[in-house]
């Protein structure tokens, strides 16, 4: 428990709006929208997640585990934004200017219009922004910034709230795009008040295992675009490199003829991604069977196993089940149900699936295979990567002509799918 003194903040706060002007009620048809051109970076993955590029006057919050590459990503983005003719101010409260210079040299991020400022006092930061007049500001991190008028320690709820409100006003008043780095808690959410995520325009999470080179940039809130898009990067010695074909990355280590493996086409926003779902079914050594999932929804896997036992006759109640989505990606859409069921049945029956087969479909509680969305994009992605056969819901075959180079098999029930796959 930390004691925080409550101060009278009425005199310190401005009574004007974010734009610095008094607003009057207006009719909706009299409002003239401002069309701000987006600024595209050289990272197409980042542009897709942001909704098409960086919006002037926007505020982006980037969260992620320590050492995942947040500062590296923003340093590379700052370099590319400086190349477009803009001025970048990089404010760091965690590293010295010498440390950032060493990393920038390694990443090749040395540009003329790139300013470094090692400061945590918001009054000095505001003064620096007024003097330099940058187009872009990076705050690394928000938990180290302090308002001198508040007596609580840096990183406290009141400090994070007030510094974010100050930066938000600067962004909206001057049309400056501000990127904020936020620490995360043990549960993986942004540290500080929940209101922090409501104040900013975009919330991005940088995910990935520290022992793997792949990183996933995911948008959980975006006022200027979709929240279903993801960007995939690979960490190298020279910084983050975009992965233009993630499907090939997720499938490159798949063993031919292995049991308990099935390929699914998952949609991440508008992009189809092929992912390998792996299952290991072993007899339980104790009274209660164990269920473990990684990258898959636990309740969904339990539901599919119950349907397999009831509708397909697989005795799974005395079997331990371990399932994962290979590559560290998280899947949470109904179209992965059929591939999950096939991988479980493959491990249980000790029969492998073909390396050129793919599975798409949602499973109902009565054992039916229900139609899914974006079936044409999914099948085109499968065909592009050289797959020869795809199993999908029979109802998805209506009013649609499959490509010629791939065999499309429509299935209506889970029992029919198992019979056709395992002969």
Residues 284 and 254 in one domain: yes
354, 256 in Cβ contact below 8 A?
A: no
* 3-state SS class at 245: coil
Residue 204 shares a structural domain with residue 259: no
Predicted local distance difference test score (pLDDT) of residue 186: 73
CATH of the domain at 357: 3.30.230.10
Q: Is residue 2 one of the residues assigned to a domain?
A: no
Between CA 412 and CA 398 the distance in angstroms is 13
Residue 230 pLDDT greater than 60, yes or no: yes
pLDDT exceeds 80 at position 96: yes
**38, 52 in Cβ contact below 8 A?**
yes
Residue 208 lies in a domain: yes
Residue 69 labeled ligand binder: yes
Residues 275 and 409 in one domain: yes
Specify if 35 maps to a domain.
no
pTM above 0.85, yes or no: no
Instruction: Count other C-beta atoms under 10 Å from residue 336's C-beta.
Output: 27
167 and 267 in a common domain:
no
Q: Are residues 132 and 216 in the same domain?
A: yes
Q: Which residue, 225, 244, 263, sits at the end of a domain?
A: 244
Domain annotation covers residue 12: no
Tell me the C-alpha to C-alpha distance, in Å, between residue 144 and each of 6, 154, 406.
20, 6, 55
Q: Residue 182 falls within a domain, yes or no?
A: yes
Structural domain boundaries, residue 111: 41-244
Look at the block and give the residue holding tokens 């982006």: 60
**Based on the domain organization, do 201 and 52 belong to the same domain?**
yes
Q: Are residues 328 and 198 in the same domain?
A: no
301 and 227 belong to one structural domain: no
Of 200, 229, 244, the residue that ends a domain is: 244
Whether 264 contacts 331, CB under 8 Å: yes
Per residue in 104-122, pLDDT (tens digit) is: 888 876 767 889 999 999 9
pLDDT at 120: 92
In a domain, 136, yes or no: yes
The Cα 421–Cα 407 span in angstroms is 13
Confidence class for position 228, pLDDT limits 50, 70, 90: confident
Question: How many other CB atoms are there within 10 angstroms of residue 45's CB atom?
Answer: 23
Is 15 domain-assigned?
no
> Is 375 assigned to a binding site?
no
| Higher-scoring residue by pLDDT: 97, 419 | 419
Average pLDDT on 229-240 reads 86
pLDDT of 150 higher than 60: yes
Q: Structure tokens of 20?
A: 């610095």
- Determine the Cα–Cα distance for residues 262 and 339; give it in Å rounded to an integer: 5
Q: Within this chain, do residues 411 and 333 fall inside the same structural domain, yes or no?
A: yes
Residue in the structure block whose two tokens are 């009278």: 8
- Distance between CA atoms of 217 and 219, rounded to whole angstroms? 7
Provide the mean pLDDT of the chain.
Answer: 87
Top pLDDT among 323 and 157 is at 323
Q: Tell me: is residue 70 an annotated ligand-binding position.
A: yes
Give yes or no: residues 163 and 100 share one domain. Answer: yes
The mean per-residue pLDDT over the stretch 145-158 comes to 87
CATH number at residue 91: 3.40.50.300
DSSP one-letter string for 342-363: HHHHHHHHT-PPPTTEEE--EE
290 is in an annotated binding site: no
Identify whether residues 187 and 289 lie together within a single domain.
no
Q: Per the annotation, does 65 bind a ligand?
A: yes
Known binding residue 86? Answer is no
What is the tens place of the pLDDT at every residue in 241-294?
998 877 877 787 778 778 999 999 998 877 888 999 999 999 998 778 999 999
User: Is 66 among the annotated ligand-binding positions?
Assistant: yes
From 181, 214, 244, the end of a domain falls on 244
Assess if residue 8 is contained within a domain: no
Dump pLDDT digits (tens) for 4-49: 766 555 444 444 444 455 667 889 888 887 676 889 999 999 999 9
At 374, list the tokens. 């974006």
Average pLDDT over residues 79-99: 89
- Most confident of the following: 168-177, 319-328, 359-368: 359-368
What is the domain count for the chain? Answer: 2
Pairwise CA distance, residues 245 & 155, whole Å: 39
Whether residues 240 and 253 fall in one domain: no
């Amino acid at each position: 428990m930390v004691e925080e003194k409550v101060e009278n903040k009425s005199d310190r706060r401005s009574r004007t709006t974010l734009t610095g002007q008094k607003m009057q009620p207006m009719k909706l048809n009299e409002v003239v929208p401002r069309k701000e051109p987006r600024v595209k970076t050289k990272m197409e993955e980042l542009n897709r997640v942001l909704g098409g590029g960086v919006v002037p006057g926007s505020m982006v919050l980037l969260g992620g585990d320590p050492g995942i590459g947040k500062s590296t990503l923003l340093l590379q983005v700052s370099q590319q934004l400086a190349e477009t003719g803009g001025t970048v101010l990089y404010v760091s409260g965690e590293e010295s200017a010498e440390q950032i210079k060493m990393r920038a040299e390694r990443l090749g991020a040395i540009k003329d219009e790139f300013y470094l400022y090692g400061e945590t006092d918001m009054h000095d930061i505001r003064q620096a922004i007024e003097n330099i007049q940058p187009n872009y500001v990076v705050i690394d991190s928000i938990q180290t910034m302090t308002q001198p008028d508040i007596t609580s320690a840096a990183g406290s709820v009141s400090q994070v709230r007030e510094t974010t409100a100050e930066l938000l006003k600067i962004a909206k008043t001057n049309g400056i795009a501000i990127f904020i780095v936020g620490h995360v808690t043990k549960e993986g959410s942004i540290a500080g008040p929940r209101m922090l995520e409501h104040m900013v325009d975009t919330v991005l999470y940088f995910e990935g295992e520290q022992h793997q080179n792949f990183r996933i940039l995911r948008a959980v809130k975006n006022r200027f675009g979709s929240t279903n898009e993801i960007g995939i990067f690979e960490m190298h010695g020279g910084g983050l490199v975009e992965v233009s074909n993630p499907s090939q990355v997720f499938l490159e280590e798949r063993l031919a003829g292995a049991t308990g493996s099935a390929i699914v086409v998952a949609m991440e926003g508008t992009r189809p991604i092929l992912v390998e779902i792996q299952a290991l079914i072993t007899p339980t050594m104790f009274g209660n069977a164990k269920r473990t999932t990684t990258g898959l929804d636990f309740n969904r896997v339990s539901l599919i196993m119950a349907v397999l036992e009831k509708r397909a006759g697989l005795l799974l109640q005395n079997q331990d089940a371990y399932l994962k989505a290979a590559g560290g990606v998280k899947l949470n859409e109904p179209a992965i149900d059929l591939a999950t069921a096939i991988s479980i049945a493959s491990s249980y029956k000790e029969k492998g699936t073909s390396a050129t087969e793919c599975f798409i479909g949602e499973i109902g509680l009565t054992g039916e295979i229900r139609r899914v969305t974006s079936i044409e994009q999914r099948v085109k992605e499968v065909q592009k990567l050289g797959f020869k056969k795809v199993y999908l819901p029979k109802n998805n075959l209506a009013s649609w002509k499959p490509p010629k180079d791939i065999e499309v098999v429509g299935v209506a029930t889970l029992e029919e799918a198992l019979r056709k796959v395992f002969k």
